[in-house]
Amino acid sequence: MSDQEIKEQVQEVLDKLRPFLLRDGGDCELIDVEDGVVKLRLLGACGSCPSSTITLKAGIERALLEEVPGIVEVEQVF
């Protein structure tokens, strides 16, 4: 699978999760996917929320690991 196909799949999963982030006043932006590592920027309320690491790891990362083959980790970029 090409990097572009992986990015598209990642974006589809993020689009499914986005309403939950927006409901809490936040959002996320896909920066890049490199060697199975998804780089995300948390925006809005998510950027300053003390629970953002939990959201990133337990929510977003888990969903991506389950739904996109080849993803190994999600990293937050600032």
* The predicted structure's pLDDT at residue 35: 92
Contact 27, 46 (CB under 8 A): yes
For 8, 23, 51, the CA distances from 45, given in Å and listed in that order, are 25, 10, 10
The two structure tokens encoding residue 12: 């589809």
What does pTM read for this prediction? 0.90
pLDDT digits (tens, 9 = 90+) for 5-36: 999 999 999 999 999 999 989 999 999 999 99
Share of the chain above pLDDT 70, in %: 100
Per-residue model confidence (pLDDT) at position 2: 85
**pLDDT at 56 (0 to 100):** 87
Topology of 3-76 in CATH? GMP Synthetase; Chain A, domain 3 (3.30.300)
